[in-house]
Amino acid sequence: MRRYSAFAIAREGARYHTGWERAWRSPKPKKKYDVVIVGAGGHGLATAFYLGKNFGITNVAIIEKGWLGGGNTGRNTTIIRSNYLQDPSAAIYEKARSLYETMSQDLNYNVMFSPRGVMMLAQTHHEVRGYQRTAHANALQGVSTEFISPQRVKELVPIMDINGPRYPVLGALWQPRGGTARHDAVAWGYARACSDMGMDIIQKCEVTGVNQAGGKVTGVQTTLGEIGCDKLAIVVAGNSGDLAGKAGFRLPMESVALQALVSEPIKPTIDVVVMANTVHGYMSQSDKGELVIGGGTDGFNNYTQRGSFHHVEETVRALVETFPIISRLRMMRQWGGIVDVTGDRSPVISKTPLGNTFINAGWGTGGFKSIPGSGWAMAELVAKGEPGPLAAEFGLDRFREGRFIDESVAAGVAH
């Protein structure tokens, strides 16, 4: 694989860009692999990448029923932060945030990581106390955050009305090293690196069944035929329950749609990420000038990737009070992603009842920010058969034993 560089761009420009290679191969599946990863989104690709980089396991297939990165990886608001309350959560999200900082160099692919800072508005006295508590917890965890005053919020985001009648700003939890990245580039960068290691990325290949013998998985049935494996990794986000059912076990989670939208592009007006959890709205501005706006999850289980009007109305109505400048903007497009949510709003990185099968699921609305940390932890679990320090607390057995990692409040909108 040729390295991307300024010199490569100049060289190809001189010859009318005729020498570029395909970013990744599109091979036919082999009969058997050491590891089959179901799900070619960010988490699945990151798992494959760190299997190769950290453990030298490259006889790997990443299979995807649609197109690479076409699920939640391409349907989110790209927020990256690690200011969580519980120690296990802060550890894995901070690992992810730190890996994002060097990801462009590690993958030789510009993922456009922008550490512009993330603020979570406190608009009730309950939130003030909660975020102050989180700031103290983050200090003990080694995560750099602080609780800032309304005046400091106004300095950072001049377009904000901090004296709104319904939603006054009483302060904010501020993480300067949080930010955003380009979601498609993250998937493409990982895919390119995995393909260069010799791994097979197989798109348009849906799993229709799971072959088992002696309490272990021997392979998967797909629309492209049977594929054998020594180990199986399930990394399919909102479809986790469906695939687990095919393998013969159930998961303590539910799937719902999370909605978002973008406005028409405008001149630069906001250079940080703002989350307003009281009203279930969060906003940042993309490099193209669009305001990227996220809302809440549907109140009912579903597998739709479409938005709904009532969520747009609820989210925008509240945000307009805090950001009056956006009231005349037009919406360009709207979408939904299928998120899988656990009872304690924390993920599952775990062994399963099948001896050689592992699952990475339950990230709720925090999936994009966790991609590299999740992949790092999942790769260690798959390679060694036992969870490492990052994944140790996120096993399925915690629900049976009552060892919940409660992020239902600290995560705001489970984000």
3-class state of residue 75 by DSSP? coil
Distance (Å, whole) CA 406 – CA 364: 13
Q: How confident is the model at residue 310 (pLDDT cuts 50, 70, 90)?
A: confident
The DSSP call for residue 414 is T
Residue 413 has pLDDT above 50, yes or no: no
* 371-384 and 42-55 helices, crossing angle to 10°: 50
pLDDT in tens, 250-304: 999 999 988 899 999 999 999 999 999 888 889 999 999 999 999 878 778 888 8
Burial class (CB in 10 A: 0-12, 13-18, 19+), 110: middle
3-class state of residue 407 by DSSP? coil
For residue 231, give Cα distances in angstroms to 146, 197, 199, 290, 387: 43, 19, 15, 42, 15
Phi and psi, residue 182, nearest 5°: -85, 115
pLDDT in tens, 170-228: 999 999 999 999 999 999 999 999 999 999 999 999 999 999 999 999 999 999 999 99
Distance (Å, whole) CA 164 – CA 78: 27
Average model confidence (pLDDT) for the chain? 93
Identify whether the C-beta of residue 408 lies closer than 8 Å to the C-beta of residue 345: yes
pLDDT in tens, 116-165: 999 999 999 999 999 999 999 999 999 999 999 999 999 999 999 999 88
Q: Going from the N-terminus, what domains does the chain have, and what CATH number goes with each?
A: 25-78+183-252+344-401 (3.50.50.60), 117-178+255-342 (3.30.9.10)
Q: How confident is the model at residue 414 (pLDDT cuts 50, 70, 90)?
A: very low
Quote the pLDDT of residue 409. Answer: 54
Distance (Å, whole) CA 42 – CA 183: 8
Q: What share of the chain is helix, strand, coil (3-state, %, to 5)?
A: 35, 25, 40
**Nearest-10 Cα torsion for 412, 339, 363, 201:** -150
Question: How is residue 197 written in tokens?
Answer: 């290691």
Distance (Å, whole) CA 351 – CA 355: 7
Quote the pLDDT of residue 315. Answer: 86
Q: Which helix (H) or strand (E) holds 284?
A: strand 281-285
For residue 283, give Cα distances in angstroms to 263, 270, 292, 347: 11, 9, 6, 24
pLDDT in tens, 378-387: 999 999 999 9
pLDDT in tens, 79-111: 999 999 999 999 999 999 999 999 999 999 999
Residue 412 has pLDDT above 50, yes or no: no
Distance (Å, whole) CA 185 – CA 299: 31
User: Structure pTM?
Assistant: 0.95
Distance (Å, whole) CA 340 – CA 103: 26
Lowest-confidence pick of 3-17, 23-37, 219-233: 3-17
Quote the pLDDT of residue 287. Answer: 92
The residue among 337 and 52 whose pLDDT is bigger is: 52
Quote the pLDDT of residue 148. Answer: 98
The DSSP call for residue 386 is S
Summarize the confidence of residues 399-415 as an average pLDDT: 72
